[in-house]
Amino acid sequence: MRILITGTHGQLGTALQKELTNQNYEVIALGKSDLDLTKIKQIKTVIEKFCPKVVINCAAYNYVEGAGEDIEKAYCLNTFAPYWLAVTTKKVGGKLIQLSSDYVFDGSKESFRENDTPCPLNIYGMSRLAGERLVHLVAPESIIIRTSRLFGFSDDPQSHNFVKGIIKRANQEGLVSVVTDQIGNPTYAPDLAVAICQLLEKRAVVGIYHITNSGACSWYEFTKKIFEIAHITAPIIPIVTDESGTKISRPSFSVLENFRLIELGITPLRHWSEALAEYLGKLTI
């Protein structure tokens, strides 16, 4: 089966390319220079050229703070690009797998299932939810995967994630301040890639799936574990979001229950701390 991946040099794109190739799928792995998702004509040309059975869109505008200022870019990549991918993929007889985010929720309860009503608190979350809705409208056979707090390897040496960022900050500044009042599920991109492959094997699935590693924690607890495993002794100052200087509202709880995945009989992903230990064992900064 021919599978086309967009945003292939990002964390999930890198992991998926490896996993799908290991599973003997025919993989067309495209980065921004091969397919710029801000260009509608290019989307049509590329999808019509390769006629993939499945398109997995790993590209996104991921900068939550920046989305409030660069609204056009956030909607272009997170809403309209998925829409055009869904339209053109459907036209060639394929199916879209669109990635989305825990930030479609408002944190008004401690965890969220796939059928809970989304209510994003910021532009980033709105652009993701709008993308989900448009994809569903034009191609209801698509799969939407919501995930959160990704960490993993990337072909792009400039790529950023929380784990690398907090280690660099500890090294440069000697101490870090981290919020205690935002709870979510850290997720290891290679584990997510394996789960996406398992979902692919179940051919008839459609609709929204939550896929994260098991277990939830605050950014503060996540940092404590990172430092413990990596033997970093820099002090970690616990703060609350109001003290962090952010202008963006974020959900206090954005824990994603992997309800439908488990219902399908797929084994829940391992605990995030186990995945983190594997990641840090392989990471070179």
Ligand X SMILES: NC(=O)c1ccc[n+]([C@@H]2O[C@H](COP(=O)([O-])OP(=O)(O)OC[C@H]3O[C@@H](n4cnc5c(N)ncnc54)[C@H](OP(=O)(O)O)[C@@H]3O)[C@@H](O)[C@H]2O)c1
Q: Does 212 sit near ligand X (CB under 6 A)?
A: no
CA 132 to chain CA centroid, Å, is 13
In this structure, what token pair is assigned to residue 251?
């959900």
- Count residues binding ligand X (CB under 6 A): 27
Indicate the residue type of 19. Answer: E
Q: Which residues are part of the catalytic machinery?
A: 124
Q: Does 101 sit near ligand X (CB under 6 A)?
A: yes
Which of 27, 67, 85, 99 is in the footprint of ligand X by CB under 6 A? 99
Q: Does 125 sit near ligand X (CB under 6 A)?
A: no
CA 243 to chain CA centroid, Å, is 26
Check residue 144 and report its DSSP letter: E
Q: Which is nearer to ligand X, 85 or 176 (CB)?
A: 85
SS (H, E, C) 10-37: CHHHHHHHHHHHHCCCEEEECCCCCCCC
Q: Does 258 sit near ligand X (CB under 6 A)?
A: no
Report the C-alpha dihedral over residues 209, 65, 39, 32, rounded to 10 degrees: -80
Q: Which residue is nearest to ligand X (CB)?
A: 10
Q: Does 96 sit near ligand X (CB under 6 A)?
A: no
Map residues 18-57 to x or -, x wherever contact with ligand X holds by CB under 6 A.
--------------x--xxxx-------------------
- Of 131, 126, 12, 120, give the one whose Cα is nearest residue 81: 131
Q: Which is nearer to ligand X, 13 or 251 (CB)?
A: 13
Residues that bind ligand X (CB under 6 A): 6-7, 9-13, 32, 35-38, 58-60, 62, 77, 99, 101, 147-150, 154, 156, 159, 189
